Chains A and B, each alone.
Chain A
Amino acid sequence: AAGVIQSPRHLIKEKRETATLKCYPIPRHDTVYWYQQGPGQDPQFLISFYEKMQSDKGSIPDRFSAQQFSDYHSELNMSSLELGDSALYFCASEQREKNTEAFFGQGTRLTVV
């Protein structure tokens, strides 16, 4: 069965650079979530989209932005990267009307040096 695909799996950037993370949800899933997980920490909700519109916002820095495209894939853009942005970034998708479980991707490990 198709799963949530995230790319790239690993990314190394320098401070002040920009990074773009991509998420391809499971087909027919209409909701996408983005989470940030620092070392030894729980996943922190960043932002979510439902039917290509932003639906909720968490602790997402102003330097970050995200959008969901017509094909339902989503991108998280991170600018002016800081060392503290180094983390695992997870995307999850859900079929809203079923309201049951979110399926997570394998994550993108971002390292800022």
Chain B
Amino acid sequence: SQKIEQNSEALNIQEGKTATLTCNYTNYSPAYLQWYRQDPGRGPVFLLLIRENEKEKRKERLKVTFDTTLKQSLFHITASQPADSATYLCALHTGGFKTIFGAGTRLFVKA
């Protein structure tokens, strides 16, 4: 069956360190993969998109990698700040008219 897996346990890191979140998928061939941030009680907010023919994408302190062989994406936040604390969702766009979300990983950045 098709599945998206993200770290189910919360990630706790110290301010200034790099946070790395993992998204693994099976039985999908996504056209592209997205990362969203979600704060409690609010809608997900788009952060980055990476296409199947791209290995890496950067935006300010954010970096996403996409390995279609391993079926994995890594999401990095460098120089993390307490304001980065949120749930981060990985989402696959299957080429049809739907985006499938992972369960998300909660990130806590301690000052």
Could you list which residues of chain A lie within 8 angstroms of chain B, going by C-beta atoms?
4, 31, 33, 35, 41-45, 48, 50, 55-56, 58, 88, 90, 92, 99-107, 109
Contact = CB atoms under 8 A, between A and B. Distances in A.
B41 to A, nearest CB: 7
What is the interface residue range for chain B against chain A?
20 to 34
Contact of A101 (B46, B100, B101): B46
A31 B97 contact: yes
B73 interface: no
B42 A33 contact: no
A56 B46 contact: no
Contacts of A50: 97
B74 interface: no
Given A43-B89, A44-B101, 9 more contacts: A31-B97, A45-B98, A45-B99, A48-B97, A56-B97, A101-B34, A102-B46, A106-B42, A106-B43
Interface string B28-58: 0001101000000111111001000000000
